[in-house]
Amino acid sequence: MVGLQGLLGVGFAVVVAVRALGADIGVGNAIGEAVYFALIGAALGWVGWGLTAGRRWARTPAIVAQLLLLPVVYSLIGPSRQLLLGIVTGVIVIGTFLLLISERSRMWSMGLDLPDARP
């Protein structure tokens, strides 16, 4: 799920860049926003790869990313009034967060899931 969030971030960056080139808005600001989302998306993609590859370092940045996405969920549900999108995003973000902080995930991150590990 974290890797998918990264891909969505990169995709959003592409959409922002394309829309900026065809609009009469400040292209510099829009390109800056696109670069920002591309970097964040790439970082999330890297963290998602780390989780998939079994790298223990990737758990903490993934948890932080989910916590940082909670205000996005609030914004979608509240001020933006995009209830369906907000609920779907909230289920994904909260579900991913709960999986990342589960007991099994914690044990894995500390290396205690290995057969020869001692508490």
What type of residue is 80? S
In angstroms, rounded to a whole number, what is the distance separating the alpha carbons of residues 60 and 72?
19
Enter the pTM of the model.
0.82
Radius of gyration of the chain measured on its C-alpha atoms: 17
* Residue partners of 110: CB distance under 8 A and separation at least 6: 56
Alpha carbons within 13 angstroms on the beta-carbon side of residue 78 total 6
pLDDT, one tens digit per residue, over 53-111 is 889 899 999 999 999 999 999 999 999 899 999 999 999 999 999 999 998 888 888 87
pLDDT, one tens digit per residue, over 18-66 is 888 776 666 777 888 899 999 999 999 999 999 998 898 999 999 999 9
Delimit the domains of the chain by residue range: 2-109
